[in-house]
Amino acid sequence: MIELPNPAQAGFFHAAYNPAMPSPAASATLPHRIGILCYLFDGEGRTLLLHRKKPPNRDLYSPVGGKLETAEGESPTACAAREIFEETGLTVGVEDLHLTGIVSEKAFKHENHWLMFLYEVTRPVSVPHGQEADGEGRLEWHTREGLDKLPLPETDRDIIWPLFWKNRGKFFAVHIDCSGEKLQWTVEQ
């Protein structure tokens, strides 16, 4: 089982502003991307993960999700419903989606900044194990305890999953600075 890191651990800050962190202008030249991650569970409590075959996070496991269609003015909630349908074939309504968290990542892989909205589907769903996900990879069901054995993106393993479990059914916001050698993060809510 993934545990939440000890707040005293190096790299963890619990303040909205930390003067020791570099200013936003230090990486302002990178583009900003907006994405959605969707947490789906079955009747046994297993989580649905995508074994990705495309970047970002190729060959790693992550929740279903994708990029917001900003040119169309798509809302984050509409994006979550669309991505779930495109990758799983499931239709979910806004009443089935709970905004669980907002994650901002500074200088992810030194390529771009991310703003991600995390949604949990509030009812159990059923998707065949091994189903292809719209060319993105393969969908697989995994137990919470089994996540430790999977190749996950570093930010997911160390920060996002622990915060998701701790705040499940509630809300959190975290800023992750990926620009240095070590991840640094601030839980903002």
Kindly give, in sequence order, each residue whose CB lies less than 8 Å from that of residue 90, ignoring residues fewer than 6 positions away.
Answer: 40, 84, 125, 127
| The pair of three-digit structure tokens given for residue 169, joined into one six-digit string | 């059914």
Query: What are 53's two structure tokens?
Result: 């075959």
Supply the pLDDT for residue 13.
Answer: 42
* CATH code of the region 30-187: 3.90.79.10
SS3 133: coil
pLDDT of 55 reads 84
CA pair distance 150, 2, nearest whole angstrom? 11
pTM: 0.83
Q: Give mean pLDDT in consecutive 10-residue pieces for the chain, a chain of 189 residues.
A: 44 44 57 95 98 91 95 96 96 97 92 95 96 91 96 96 97 96 95
The residues spanned by each domain of the chain are: 30-187
Query: What letter represents residue 149's amino acid?
Result: K
Residues contacting 101, CB < 8 A, separation 6+: 117, 118, 160, 163, 164, 167, 171, 172, 173, 174
Mean pLDDT (the chain) is 88
Per-residue pLDDT, 135: 86
Q: What is the pLDDT of residues 68-116, one digit of tens each?
A: 999 999 999 999 999 999 999 999 999 999 999 999 999 988 888 999 9
pLDDT of residue 108: 85
Burial class (CB in 10 A: 0-12, 13-18, 19+), 82: middle
Beta-sheet strand order (sheet of 137-142): 61-62, 47-52, 137-142
- Confirm if 163 and 92 have CB atoms less than 8 A apart: no
DSSP state, 59? T
